[in-house]
Amino acid sequence: MREKERAIFIDFEFTMPDRHSKRRGFYQEIIEAGIVLVEKGQIIEQFSSFVVPVRFPVLTERCRSFLNITQKQVDGGISFHELVLKLKALESQRPGLVITWGNMDMKVLRHNCQQAGAEFPLNGREVDLSMEYKRFFGDQNQTGLWKAVQEYGREGTGRHHRALDDALTTYHIYKLVEKDKQYLQKPQPTTIGDRVDFSKLFNKFA
C-alpha cells in the first residue's frame, strides 16, 4: 500500500492557562481528541473523546470559555494512556501519513507522552497541512483552518474548536489541495507515435 493510501487526520484541543495566572510548571495537556482514519480515499473510522488532563485536571475559566468545554465533560473523558493506546491501535503496524493543521498537535502529544512516561504511539510521516497549504498557494502567513476552507468557498464541518469537527475539516481541505495539485501536474508530452497511427498509414501505401 502506498503511503498516501492510508492517513490519520488528527486534531487535539488543549488546556489553557488564565491570562494573568502563573501556574508553576504549567504545560498544555490534551483534553479532547478527534481522529479520522482514511484508507484509499474512504473514511474507515472516526474517533472522538474528551481526555482527562493529568498535571492540571481543573480547567481554567479561559479554557472553558474559549473551547466551550465543561469541567464535567473533561472529567468524564478517557485517560491519556487510553488515548495513546487508541492511537497505536489505529496505526496498527501500518504507518501512513499523520496529518494535522499546524504543528502544535504533535508537539503537545510528544510532550504529554514524555511527561506521562509513555511511548510516542505514531510512526507515520507527519504532515503539517497548514504549511503545505501555505507553500501551495504562496501565502506569506499561515492560514487558520476554517479560513482556509472558506477560501475554497466551503464551510467547515460542525463547529470550530471541536476536535472531531476540526479533524474532518482538515481531511476535506486535504482532498481539495490534492485535487488542485493534480490539475497543476503537467501532462506528459505526446510523441509523434501517439498522434499518428502508423499502422493505418503503412496499410494505405502497402
Q: Which three cell numbers stand for residue 191?
A: 510523441
Q: Which of 61, 111, 161, 172 is catalytic?
A: 161
Catalytic site residue from 3, 5, 13, 119: 13
Instruction: Show the DSSP H helices in 9-70 as ranges.
Output: 61-67
Instruction: Identify whether the C-beta of residue 100 lies closer than 8 Å to the C-beta of residue 10.
Output: yes
For 94, the 3-state DSSP assignment is coil
Does 161 qualify as catalytic in the annotation?
A: yes
C-alpha cell at 105: 498537535
Contact between residue 47 and residue 90 where contact means Cβ atoms under 8 Å apart:
yes
Cα 58 to Cα 19: distance, rounded to the nearest angstrom: 15
Cα separation, 187 vs 29, in Å, equals: 47
User: In this structure, are residues 50 and 73 in contact, taking their beta carbons and an 8 Å threshold?
Assistant: yes
Letter for the amino acid at 164? L
Is 151 one of the catalytic residues?
no
Cell of 168: 474532518
Per-residue DSSP letter, 162: -
Per the CB < 8 A criterion, the answer to whether 8 and 164 are in contact is no
Angle between helices 104-116 and 80-91 (to 10 degrees): 120
Active site amino acids: 13, 161
